[in-house]
Structure 1
Amino acid sequence: MTQTQLQIISSEAYDAFYTEKDYEKAVPLLTQMITLSPPSSPTLQIARQIAVMFANGGSIIARDSPKAVDLFTTLSSAHNDAFAHFALGLLHLAGRGVEKDYSQAASHFTRAADQNHAGAMYYLGVLHELGLGFSKDHEKAMSLFEKSADLDNADSCTALAVIHQTSGDSTKATKYYTRAARENLLALVTLSSIQEASDSQPRFQSPPFLDLTWLGTGVNPSKCLDQSISIDESTQIEFGTDTVLDFSSTTEPPGESTIGLPIPNKHSFHFSNMVKSAGEGNPMALFSMGLWYELNLVPPANHTAFMQIYCTPDQLAKNETPTAAKIALDMYNRAANKGFVPAQLKLSCVTAKGRLDVPADLSKAFTMFSKIASISNDPLAHYNLGVMYLKGWGVEKDFGRARQEFTEAADQDLSDAKFNLALMYDLGIVGSRDIVVANRLFEEAAEEGLVKPDRIV
């Protein structure tokens, strides 16, 4: 094929993708370009993006997993493309367009990891840690997570944080959670919970019992890693932000989001999309924005741009933009008003502990937790009521009601409740001491990293 013919095909492919948005038409044209000549970077990006769109489907294009597999296979076979190998690994994990096969997934992840693909290293680490496609090898998994984390992979940072948290190294855990918080939801919520605990007044730090919390403190590395590779038919496969925008290719901002917020890097890109979703009323996005502001994670350029749509003209004219704490509180309230239970729990803890410039009010917090428990039967609401009855915070001390609330939460498999309930049985609070029940509950809580104290006073 002549250079002129290639240019014609290239022009047709670009028109099909960008102008006509006829992705079915673009695929065979791109396949020709990829097969017949070394593709340019834009061509690779378009081919990857179309394949991702077919893999997940959505409002723009119907899911067609076999077509995604074919396009990724062409990319990987013709050019040993690292992203294509990574994507094929994910598709073999999910069993989309191909049979679910951990060995095949491992093979593709290995080829991508050999080219320094951080995401592939993370999934290889998961497979080694869980013994899927390989023999179980914790040391190999840790090595892969650390290499991937060095390349700024948020999932690997989160995996390392969880592992260090369960081994008792809170300093390393917090460091990795902080690095991952802008891109990984588990890291974001856990970091907020850790900060809240460290900021608490001494009265809320009363071992050996666990404190009020809007997020369970127990965590199981194997469960977390298993969830990351459990991709059902309804789940969108997360291929990574760099599929959409190549932030590494230029120092200039690649563009702006649909709401006019700058996106010079992937953190700004995440925040921009979060603002868009929040503006559409998505409670998870509203809640996440609150966490970003509470933890001071918002990039300065994004904050400045967001103030232009968040504040009134009068506030802007007088330079009276709200504090990060006020914005966080507003976002939590908006999410809570939509029935989002994590936001309701967060606000209840904020009220109990007097955070984000909210006056401490234990009685009000007790009422808030009671309402959540009554409407949603949420285990964390029951657990927090148990803590408040146990300590006499905002309500008269009542060990019987404390045990009842902890039991309600423990029956829903909340490890924090099992831990506190185990302590009550071990200490003989309410009735005679029962070591057998206490040890059973301690063992169950230990599966989530909550270890029985060496000495119980």
Structure 2
Amino acid sequence: MFYYKDIILDKNNLNKLECSESARKGDPIAQYNLGSCYQHGNGVIKDYNKALLWYSKSANNGYALGQNNLGELYEKGFGCNKDYNKAFEWYSKSANYECAEGQKNLGNCYYYGRGITKDYNKAFELYLKSANNGCALGQNSLGFCYKNGIGVKKDYDKAVEWFFKAANNGCALGKNNLGVCYRYGIGVTKDINKAFDLYSESANDGCAEGQYNLGNCYYHGIITDVNYNKAFEWYFKSANEGFNPTQYNLGYCYQYGKGVAKDYNKAFILYYKSANNGFCSGQNNLGLCYERGFGTNKDYKKAFEWYSKSADNGCAEGQNNLGFCYEKGFGTNKDYKKAFEWYTKSAEKGCAIGQRGLGSCYYYGNGVSQDYKKAIEWYVKSAGKGDSIAKNNLGCCYLYGCGFIQNYEKAFKWFSRSANDGCSLGQNALGYCYEKGFGTDKNYNKAFEWYLKASNNGDPKGYYNLGKCYHYGIGTSINIEEAIILYNKALDKGIKDATNELNKILKF
């Protein structure tokens, strides 16, 4: 996104006829203005080919803004094939005439390595020139350099100073970045109210990043009440600008029905866009769609492919899911050592599911020597972040005395936490504690209640144990027909003990 300030006329009031006459007489400013009319559709039908024609004339007549805008068309491929070398050439000419916009865009070339080798020092120098020449986006870019230590030593105070100037000069992206500083207390006292106000201004000015951050405020209830409808609205606007993180967030809204009706097909499309634009979380969720058949056919090989890309790009969730593929042999050959490696990377980045996966590697000795103490260490970290399966696994460690002295009361406590989080494994285990009196008084009614919840959540052992309740009248009336249905469900999920119970009923 580039910022243009027409130094002759307000774009909205350009007179196309006057521009055309002057442009045809060779006036480079009029040629520039006519190119701008065609580029933005002001007073004429938008036509990038004609914009290219008139910017070329203006640029070749030595007008710096025409040179800058011609560079933009080559950079974006508007009215021509994308050509970073030509974009760099024209931005250089514009910058040499001290055009602030040209200096900023030439800085971008050095920053991204477009048409020239990356050089953060030169990018910084050009942003500094642009900023001092009054370009709001140049001021924003200079603030970005100071904030992140790009071509210069990190200096949060100077970052805020330049973001403030950019914002005051009407730069929507500068308003967003200043909001980020207030949100996290970077170079300024933390003030979430100011952050929200700045995000709002930026979003209403059409900045995709501001719209994204405002959407996050509504989604997570930052300064305002949680409002998934408004979050979706702002994510939608931001995604239409092509902002990768928002395409991912919007896909998430469609996947889980946040602020909009669930739609796996739309979620898949948005994750696909985000993934192909290189956003690692989008790549992970696209892999999830292929693994589970959300909005597309199940395809473990494609799931593995996208998890691999996500993992290689540093996504902790993608690293966990890649570890899972190696553990289960989804889309690749089983390889416990590789599973262990990827779970470790995910866990060390703080991913709760990865920490649990690593704990299980140590618990079962998959890809590493069995070590119950290390298993517990990682389960505790995962459970501390709210992972309900890790809570169940800690309950199992206490129940069976793995890495701990056997302690039924503590086992019961962890199973309760897991079960109340909605984990079917924990619900089944809690039912078992009530049935056997482990860590609590025997209570067949409560055992039945928790087995029922586990069964309703699709737990294989829940099917089996609930079947036994109906078979033997544990906490409920005997119902052989229901028992047979549940035993068969358990058998379909691999619970072999269900065969013995079925044989008892059928007297085989």
TM-score in terms of structure 1 length: 0.47
Name whichever structure is richer in helix by fraction: 2
Name which one, 1 or 2, has greater alpha-carbon Rg: 2
Higher relative contact order (CA 8 A, sep 6+): 1
